[in-house]
Amino acid sequence: MPNAKRTRAIMAAQKVAAGLVRVKTDPQPTPEAPKLTAEQRKEMYAPKSALAIIPKRPPMPIRAAKTTAKTGGVLLGMLTAITAGILIGETKKGIRS
């Protein structure tokens, strides 16, 4: 499932690209130049990658390593919980006999 911040950033960038939202850095038409040039339009409406939209996103190997570490931690926690449950059950049996 995508990260909520990433999704919001992509949606905001799509609104800007569609011209629904004005950004201060967008070229503004003036009385001298009432229309944008072809280059300005091309730059403004060109599709951008997720990395361009989210500049602080870490590179793929780091994201993969973080995901692997999280998954490993969850699996280790589950294994520890199961093992602890078995040991506690065996200890109770041993105390009763």
As to burial, measured by CB atoms within 10 angstroms (0-12 exposed, 13-18 middle, 19+ buried), residue 54 is middle
CB 54 within 8 A of CB 9: yes
One-letter amino acid for residue 86 of the chain: I
The percent of residues in the chain predicted with pLDDT above 70, rounded, is 68
Where are the domains positioned within the chain? 1-57, 58-97
d(CA 89, CA 97): 13
Confidence of residue 20 (pLDDT cuts 50, 70, 90): low
Confidence of residue 68 (pLDDT cuts 50, 70, 90): very high
CB 26 within 8 A of CB 44: yes
To the question of pTM greater than 0.75 for the whole model, the response is no
Residue 14: is its pLDDT beyond 90?
A: no
Q: What is the pLDDT of residue 33?
A: 66
d(CA 94, CA 97): 5
The pLDDT of 58-67, averaged and rounded, is 83
